[in-house]
Chains A and B, each alone.
Chain A
């Protein structure tokens, strides 16, 4: 009984001692909650129409945004408050005078620790709770508080409490580990963000040293979500608040929901950090006050854990700002420079004495050896990272994403709240499973063995005449990027990216085998994914000369997709390379602000007879031709980039090299021998049916018609064009 009384007295005393703390917290939450809510609701009411178009009302805004995903804004404030509470509560450990008083009192260390711990939480919680209730009141006053807001508010309170305890326990741990306020603040930063820093560094180093290093998904997710080393609070919070990785319909739909399962990880981490802080507090000697690090035994560990990664980070920085980022020279300079400086600096900080710089020579040598070893392993790929391809027996399945071969739009609107980024590689790596296709690993092995790299040049006047440039560019014209995701039987997933040479017959044969695989096509686009079917507003159609949109009933959409899918499944890579498409179809949603493509522009080839017929039935004739009567004039411009990018769609034109044709005969001849840049653009260097020497611009007679860019079909450039353009 006495003990409980004493405990509550201690808590009360601590609250009184740090009364400025809850006052500051109160002000911080007032600005980040009430003021923000008032501003946001006012903004909402001003732009109500825009919000309503996005299918949510003010109550939805409050529950889904304010108390939902936008809670991260208040979580940032909560973290800062946690630092404040943690540092101010345990700063007495860094003062000999205060330690003499507190540790001489007839109170056990356990009581002292937990009373301060609880006091810190209460200092945060009560002001926060009051502000949350006031916000709920404001929302209710503006008719923005519905029944669905109650659980949102409850989970918001729990979320912020968990975030606070996590950040707070980290700060307390740092305060206990150190004996000086400044070092304690630095220590808090290190503990709070260490795994984040290491994850980012790992990614940077892998990008630098491994040609085949490849990650997919949003970068935050890659850095913090995928790694088991996600132990620092910052990594955890970034993962919690990162947008869901929208590679499945299910994850995309959870855009405004928290990963409740991950909340348990946060709670567990907070418990572990708190317990660690408590155990170290008990073991911490009172005389540690004033020393930078309270535990001598921890010094070498901290030194190594800081010096090596930070040195590599500085090395990357130096190489990035250097004139030649690929060169090892500046990387090594940064590595050696930062290693020495950091070793000396940490030595001084640990001893608070300049003489500390030259102590611990053996550890200096140990760290230097580790740093050198890591550099050698990375630089010379000692582990064989770039050449690794799993054995067939290890493989459970594969995903392959070939750049430009099949379209996939980058943004998909899958929920009423907004758009979701959906990278083509991201989608395919997550959704495609190719099994028992030996061509996949054969192509991977070939690519890993060849180790092709795409060399880029800094352009300058006259570079086109440099033999090395010409050779390299010619060789690289047919290079294509290809990403692999190996799903191993042991549950691991391995990603690699390579360049392949489409000019290589073996490579092309293997790629054709992969393209012919039904699983490849089914997994390459959400259009063929049953779980991704959502309602479209329109199908945007484009033929060589015309565009149009058709509105279809869901049944008609299903029929069109089914027909198209059936014919696409029979499509061969050879057709993609050599056959000129008749058009594209693009399944899209539409609102007042424009279209949102769902599928990307899917090619329609002449072989797709049923699709073409169905489109005609629905109102768009893909085979309709343009006649010279519809055209006012045609401008043919020389592609100045042709010598550099012969088979690519990049072009620069000059007015001086432009020739106009207005004669009907010439116009008709040109119309019969051009292909829309839109078709070529979609599949890039795979298209082998166009000639990039000229850009053809057609100006229609109809006033509302747009001007379109075209290329000549390979081998079909009319002679009068060649003569007019003064080229051979």
Chain B
């Protein structure tokens, strides 16, 4: 487990990360969301052992990461602009990382390169940005580390490739102790990958939630009641986050389980009541509005 406690990092007068406390459980895909400059990269660089926190602690499996090679041997950090050796080929890079990561799987690497249609002997400097990102993920996965830190790695990947990467992650998650941490400025990019999400804003963590838990505990419902008294009574029983009314139709976002909410509504015999699909984006909009933020301005 990665635990960051009250982590602060300044760059001169700029506060890049301010008092961040985050726990990333083993075996989950953790998404780190935030606008540019929110502190995602700085946070990941501290988790990756590149930067030393000014204060607070960053632990991986209860051991400090910075200047701790045995701990760093379990972490592979893919920066937003990954460095490749001059004039190197994917094979050269695989050999490069093999020297540092003892569990680097060369055979798997070659297989994955083939699957992604990347030439092992091709010059990386001729690759497109997307191809380089694919290569970075392949190298990261093949390094066999427990933690894989991906900084904006998925941004710009086409849906097919994202699906492919997702399936690789799924495979890794099922086969070994693997915890990817993915930073992105785009929530939609992470929606179908992450188990848990933390939102960073202005250097601090706005919130950290388990996605499944969030999806199970928040619902979007449209309903029409027989009269105004029923309507008022029914809505009064619900924990409404957002409410919209179009004529007699109520569109409400409500906290609670599906069964619990529907039971309460049906007890007033509505004319019509159904659950609408809720996107991760809508969930976050609702959640952050509660704490006083307009997330549209923060993330989308």
Contact = CB atoms under 8 A, between A and B. Distances in A.
Interface of A: 6, 9-10, 13, 17, 95, 97-101, 103-109, 111, 285-287, 296
Contacts of B51: 285-287
7 contacts: A9-B99, A104-B76, A105-B72, A106-B75, A107-B72, A286-B50, A286-B51
Contacts of B100: 6, 105-107
A13 B81 contact: no
Contact of A17 (B50, B69, B73, B85): B85
A106 B52 contact: no
B86 A98 contact: no
Given A100-B50, A286-B50, A107 B83 contact: no
Contacts of B82: 97, 101
- Highest count of chain B CB atoms <10 Å: which of A13, A100, A296: A100
Interface string B57-89: 000000000010111110111010111011000
A95 B83 CA distance: 10
A10 B83 contact: no
Contacts of A99: 50
Interface string B12-45: 1000000000000000000000000000000001
A106 B69 contact: yes
B118 to A, nearest CB: 19
B169 interface: no
Using C-beta atoms within 8 Å of the partner chain, give the interface range for chain B.
Answer: 20 to 34
Nearest to B145: A106
Contacts, number: 61
A286 B46 CA distance: 10
Contacts of B99: 6, 9-10, 13
Contacts of A10: 99
Contact of B50 (A13, A95, A104, A111): A104
B50 A106 contact: no
Contacts of B83: 95, 97-98, 100-101
Nearest to A92: B83
Nearest to B12: A296
A99 B49 CA distance: 11
B67 A108 contact: yes
A558 B176 CA distance: 98
B96 interface: yes
- Highest count of chain A CB atoms <10 Å: which of B71, B100, B101: B100
Nearest to B81: A97
A97 B80 CA distance: 9
A259 B62 CA distance: 57
Contacts of B96: 13
A183 B79 CA distance: 26
B203 interface: no
Contact of B75 (A13, A97, A104): A104
A98 B101 CA distance: 18
Interface string B81-109: 11101100000000010011100000000
B50 A108 contact: no
Nearest to B50: A103
Contacts of A97: 79, 81-83
A107 B97 CA distance: 12
B198 interface: no
A290 to B, nearest CB: 10
Contacts of A17: 85-86
Nearest to A101: B83
A6 B72 CA distance: 15
A95 B84 CA distance: 13
B77 A108 contact: no
A312 to B, nearest CB: 32
B198 to A, nearest CB: 20
Contacts of B101: 106
Nearest to A99: B50
A286 B45 contact: yes
B204 interface: no
Contacts of A108: 67, 69
4 closest residue pairs by CB, A with B: A106-B73, A104-B77, A106-B72, A100-B79
A10 B98 CA distance: 11
A95 B81 CA distance: 11
Contacts of B180: none
Given A99-B50, A286-B51, A106 B70 contact: yes
Interface string B224-237: 00000000000000
Nearest to A112: B69
Contact of A107 (B69, B71, B76, B77): B69
B48 interface: yes
Nearest to A103: B50
A9 B100 CA distance: 9
Nearest to A20: B86
Contacts of B85: 17
A103 B69 contact: no
A23 to B, nearest CB: 14
B73 to A, nearest CB: 4
A10 B99 CA distance: 8
Contacts of A98: 83
A458 B127 CA distance: 73
Contact of B79 (A13, A101, A285): A101
Contacts of A9: 99
- Highest count of chain A CB atoms <10 Å: which of B12, B50, B70, B81: B50
Contacts of B76: 104
- Highest count of chain A CB atoms <10 Å: which of B70, B77, B99: B99
Given A17-B86, A107-B100, A287-B51, 4 more contacts: A95-B83, A100-B48, A106-B69, A286-B45
